[in-house]
């Protein structure tokens, strides 16, 4: 609004105008090929950042999948339940740990046996 126009605001706008005029002069002096190469460099930098983020997310997903796969096994489910119990209860109680250790000795491969062919 015009009522908000102060001397400082006018000076700021004039400085912005001179910067924009310099940008326009630079653009007029730049060839099409130079603009293309500049845009291409900017694109390549953005693509590198995207690829780095994508690789990080892919590695994190693979880690989560490994943990999920491990937690689907019989021993993994027990370990996960133990972790949850420790988080919820503060990790106390030595007798429960001894009982869990006794249960861990059951290493049956029933879950991993292929189904018989008919």
**pLDDT tens-digit readout, 27-69:** 999 999 999 999 999 999 999 999 999 999 999 999 988 888 8
Tokens representing 87?
A: 């988080």
Q: What are the b/e assignments for 83-112, b being 16+ CB within 10 Å? A: eeeeeeeeeeeeeeeeeeeeeeeeeeeeee
pTM of the shown model: 0.44
For residues 109 and 72, is the Cβ–Cβ distance under 8 A?
A: no
Is residue 98 over pLDDT 50? Answer: no
Rounded to whole angstroms, the Cα distance separating 109 from 113 reads 6
Q: How far apart are CA 106 and CA 100, in angstroms?
A: 11
Please provide the size of the chain in residues.
118
Residue 116 confidence class, pLDDT cut points 50, 70, 90:
low
């Amino acid at each position: 609004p015009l009522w908000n126009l102060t001397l400082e605001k006018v000076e700021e706008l004039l400085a912005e105008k001179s910067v924009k005029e310099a940008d326009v002069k630079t653009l007029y002096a730049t060839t099409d090929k130079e603009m293309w190469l500049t845009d291409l460099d900017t694109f390549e930098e953005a693509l590198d950042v995207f690829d780095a983020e994508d690789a990080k997310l892919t590695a994190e997903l693979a880690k989560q999948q490994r943990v999920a796969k491990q937690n689907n096994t019989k021993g993994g489910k027990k370990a996960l339940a133990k972790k949850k119990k420790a988080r919820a209860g503060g990790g106390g109680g030595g007798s429960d740990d001894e009982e869990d250790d006794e249960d861990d000795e059951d290493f049956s491969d029933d879950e991993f046996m292929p189904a018989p062919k008919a």
